[in-house]
Amino acid sequence: MAQLQPKRISPKDLSSWLNQEVTKPFLIDVREEEELNIAPFPAQAMHLPLSQVNNRLKNLQVEIPKDKSVVVICHKGIRSWNFGMWLLEQEFGYDVWNLDGGIDAWSTEISPETPRY
């Protein structure tokens, strides 16, 4: 059965997942450049601003690995949820997760040195 919506992941659970040796997820940060300049996510992530998704549509299946779970990140978890829904609707076959509360929740729960905005 196809996944109907992104799975939810808390900052704590994502932090644990990122600390695992083998099974790290593929991260996609859909925030705009200005937001990344304020509060970059402290792990390697593909930067795919929602304002530029249409320009990169034909390469998405090449850019996003099929063999990893995909965690989508934004400021509060709303834009990433919407992008995750769209990604699932494309039926590319990805295992899609959404960071609950986005980088803002990450800042308050995991990484206080990450600026809030």
Q: Which residues are catalytic?
A: 74
Tell me how far apart the alpha carbons of residues 45 and 63 are, in angstroms, rounded to a whole number: 12
Instruction: Please name which of 82, 57, 59 lies closest in space to residue 72, comparing C-alpha atoms.
Output: 82
Tell me how far apart the alpha carbons of residues 99 and 21 are, in angstroms, rounded to a whole number: 20
User: Which neighbouring-strand residues pair with 9?
Assistant: 99
Altogether, the residues listed in the chain come to a count of 117
Six token digits for residue 99 = 């960071």
